[in-house]
Copies of this chain bind each other. A is one copy, B any other.
Amino acid sequence: MMPISDRLIYNKRVFTRSARASDKDGIERKETVMAGQKNKVTIFDVAKASGVSSSAVSYALNNKPGVSEATRAKVLKVAKGLGWRPNGAAQALARANTSRIGVVLAQEARLLSAEPYMMELLAGLGAELEQHDYSMLLRFAIGRDNEVVILKDWIATGNVDALLLVNLEMDDPRVALLNEYPEMPALALCDPSLSGGLPVMRSLDMQAVTKAVSYLHDLGHERIGRVGGPESFGHSYIRDAAFSDAAAELGVRYRCLHADYTPKGGIEATKRLLSVNPRPTAIIYDNDVMAMAGMGIAREMGFDIPGDLSIMAWDDSFMCTAVFPHLTVMGRDIVGSGHRAAQLLLKLVDGEQVGVADEYPYELRERASTGPAPASVEQR
């Protein structure tokens, strides 16, 4: 008899707990201290201090029914007094959710820093998640394969509640992966044609392209060049197609080269675009780094901007108004889109359907780098 009842008692939290706190000493205590948290105020401490059970405390602290207002108030007060905060791991384990959204970045560091898009997006995303007590779990992948490995790991370990997929490529392996695990909510930032049915927030590139081309067309430009990002990137491809269409529609000649977002890439592509005869009178770049580099080299070659050549960039950043002439851009509220992405992700976590949502639309921000097409076009 004794061993059984002993065990039963030992099984009770309160006893176990107080036993650990006072009886044992040495190794275990040391470990606990090493582990990190000093302030191990648990729900049991709160329960004891407020003279109720741990479940009552849990209900009270989570604003759930099941306790009287009187006890709720008391528990809340005691918890605050003790400085209690729920242990994240325990909560995650019990609730089977983590309050974390996962993002994997697979681009090279210097590229990431050169592109304002990602940082602004993350800032918006983070700020919105913040409002809902969610965090962002961030990983930097080394290559595409690694990216899939990380996602698989997150899915299997349950380390995040949902995933944000960025920079999708055509036939992206991540789409296949997420379709294998429909229970893991994921939002893809890409054109719906690339997402394989996954919930999507799409950027309104088509509209923007039409707007940009007709803006230049209205200025008299009849030959437009473009320096796009890497061809493997979904949005490069989408924009390219849209440009072809819009140009054809307006009877504008259009030529596109792809580069790697770097100054060097922008310079090379610009030189090549300007070496054909007749040359384009306007060039649109997929990012501001290439636009600036392109504008710079064009000036070095003797072109006046925008007298001889108009320059436009895609996506705005401080850089666009730090250079002279200031760059005309197709800009959009990227931070806002980050907020929206967060809202969509939280919806997905709640089991709601999302389907296809839109990013904030692009708007033309006309500045000094664009102007009427030159009357005549001579080469340099």
Residues on B with C-beta less than 8 A from A87 are 93, 157-158
**Complex contact A96–B127 (CB within 8 A):** no
Residues on B with C-beta less than 8 A from A41 are 156
A94-130 CB contact bits vs B (8 Å, 1 = yes)? 0111101000010011101110111110111011001
The count of chain A contact residues (Cβ–Cβ below 8 Å) is 86
A27 at the binding interface (Cβ < 8 Å)? no
Tell me how far the C-beta of A160 lies from the nearest C-beta in chain B, rounded to whole angstroms: 9
Q: Which of A34, A41, A153, A156 has the most CB of B within 10 A?
A: A156
Segment among A13-21, A56-64, A135-143 that sits at the interface with chain B: A135-143
Which A241-298 residues have a C-beta within 8 angstroms of B? Answer: 262-264, 266, 289-290, 292-293, 296-297
Segment among A225-233, A315-323, A356-364 that sits at the interface with chain B: A315-323
CA distance A290 to B318 in the complex (A): 9
CA distance A85 to B155 in the complex (A): 9
A375 at the binding interface (Cβ < 8 Å)? no
A residues touching B (Cβ–Cβ < 8 Å)? Answer: 4-5, 7-8, 11, 32-39, 41, 83-90, 92-93, 95-98, 100, 105, 108-110, 112-114, 116-120, 122-124, 126-127, 130, 135-142, 153, 155-159, 161, 181, 183-184, 262-264, 266, 289-290, 292-293, 296-297, 299-300, 317-319, 321-324, 335, 351
**Complex contact A323–B113 (CB within 8 A):** no
Q: Which of A35, A95, A109, A351 has the most CB of B within 10 A?
A: A109
CA distance A18 to B184 in the complex (A): 25
**Complex contact B183–A85 (CB within 8 A):** no
Known: A4-B5, A37-B96, A105-B123. 8 other contacts (CB 8 A): A11-B11, A35-B95, A87-B158, A89-B158, A113-B116, A113-B117, A130-B139, A137-B138
Residues on B with C-beta less than 8 A from A112 are 119-120, 123
**Complex contact A319–B289 (CB within 8 A):** yes
CA distance A38 to B35 in the complex (A): 31
**Given A39-B155, A87-B93, A33 and B142 touching (CB < 8 A)?**
no
**Complex contact A156–B85 (CB within 8 A):** yes
- CB closest chain-B residue, reference A92: B89
CA distance A324 to B123 in the complex (A): 30
- 15 A-B contact pairs sorted by A residue (CB < 8 Å): A37-B96, A37-B158, A85-B153, A85-B157, A87-B93, A89-B92, A89-B98, A90-B93, A108-B123, A110-B116, A110-B120, A112-B123, A113-B317, A293-B322, A323-B323
**Complex contact B318–A296 (CB within 8 A):** no
**Complex contact B35–A97 (CB within 8 A):** yes
